[in-house]
């Protein structure tokens, strides 16, 4: 997965997702994903580089990850 990835499937979530932002924390990459159909009308998710969900129901971007790192 990289900054330009699209068509991503997320375990436990329907539809396809695409990367809208990325961040490196403690040497690990994380990606903020937006739903391809619903866009900013649905909450985003944050996944790690392997596609594992780190934070669900994201409304404030990587700010919602604080405390979960």
Contacts of 4 (CB under 8 A, 6+ apart): 19
62: three-class secondary structure by DSSP: helix
Comparison of pLDDT for 69 and 30, the residue scoring more: 30
Statement: residue 67 has pLDDT above 60? no
Q: State how far the Cα of 43 lies from the Cα of 27, in Å rounded to an integer.
A: 26
The average confidence (pLDDT) of the chain is 93
Residue 68 has pLDDT above 80, yes or no: no
What integer is the mean pLDDT of 8-29? 96
Helices (H) and strands (E) in the chain, counts: 0, 4
pLDDT band at 65 (very low <50, low <70, confident <90, very high): confident
Q: CB-based contacts of 36: which residues, under 8 Å, 6+ apart?
A: 6, 7, 15, 16, 17, 18
Which sequence spans correspond to the domains of the chain?
A: 17-65
pTM: 0.91
């Amino acid at each position: 997965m990289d900054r330009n990835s699209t068509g991503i499937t997320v375990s436990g979530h329907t539809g396809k997702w695409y990367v809208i932002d990325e961040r490196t924390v403690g040497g690990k990459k994380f990606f903020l994903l937006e739903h391809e159909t619903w866009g900013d009308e649905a909450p985003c998710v944050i996944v790690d580089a392997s596609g594992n969900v780190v934070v669900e129901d994201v409304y404030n971007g990587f700010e919602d990850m604080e405390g979960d790192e």
